Amino acid sequence: MARVVVVSGGGTGIGRAVARRFAADGDRVLLVGRREAVLREAAEALAADGDVCGEIRTLAADLTVPEEAQRVRDETGRRYGRVDVLVNNAGGNAELSSDEGKVPGGLAGVARQWRSNFDANVLTAVLLTEALGDLLQEPGRRVVLVSSIAAYRGSGTGSYAAAKAALHPFAYDMAGRLGPHGATVNAVAPGYIEQTDFFGGRMTEERRRMLIGQTVTGRVGTPADVAETVHWLASPGAQHVTGQIVQVNGGARYGN
């Protein structure tokens, strides 16, 4: 039977690849993000993809806002009546919108950057998971969070890294809450992944070479690399894997 899969940040990058992977199985995928036009374009491109046979639908919502997360819950209940897989992929790094790794001017700037990264990476996942919580209390349900290698080795000011690290105890606690119902909760922590909007054109060739040099595979990661891991964590074969952080980084060593 086709599963219902909710992918936050599903209009671009990793989320879009995750959506494609599930829709290739014939699953019914809901893409959630703030920009309606981006979601619509992604849904149309996926529907035109020869590998995709599942239904793709969209819902625009800012998941940092409790009422918006509640609206996703209400719409999901009305449209599908169930959620089999929740992929909390929405996020981004506010450090990149200032000069990479630099603290913005004054304490007010510091507070803004930390709050912004907390909102984008923690609240989006927490609010959507809590909003959909009752639908996830069933055997076979899956929640996957998207963390980052930054959670292990910092991100410049620490604000993005700390926000991603906060997802790990959330995954542990949610795994404890949903485990008795037969559901699992895990996180994937990607290293450097190309073909996304994450760096907003700020990646230099020198830094790119350095990041590739930190891997043992000698290549960049792709959204499909992450999507395959998310798909596996959501598979029946991974039913005894829960409360784990799975790193997808080509063996990039910490702290390099």
Site string for ligand NAP, 101-120 (x = CB under 6 A): -------------------x
- What's the rounded Cα separation, in Å, for the pair 142 and 178? 9
* C-beta of 13 vs 250, nearer to ligand NAP: 13
10 Å Cβ neighbour count for 155?
22
CB of 125 to ligand NAP, least distance (A): 8
CB of 56 to ligand NAP, least distance (A): 14
Q: Which residues pair with 190 in a beta bridge?
A: 248
Tokens of 6: 């909710």
Our answer to whether residue 80 is catalytic in this structure is: no
At residue 65, φ and ψ (nearest 5 deg) are -105, 120
CB of 198 to ligand NAP, least distance (A): 3
Judged by CB under 6 A, how many residues of this single chain contact ligand NAP? 29
10 Å Cβ neighbour count for 73?
20
Check binding of 38 to ligand NAP (CB under 6 A).
Answer: yes
Check 80, 152, 160, 192 and give the catalytic one.
Answer: 160
Is 51:20 a contact under the CB 8 Å cutoff?
yes
Tokens of 205: 């060739």
Check binding of 233 to ligand NAP (CB under 6 A).
Answer: no
Tokens of 210: 């350095």
Positions marked catalytic: 160
Q: Which residues bind ligand NAP (CB under 6 A)?
A: 8-9, 11-15, 33-35, 38, 62-64, 89-92, 120-121, 124, 146, 148, 190, 192-193, 196-198
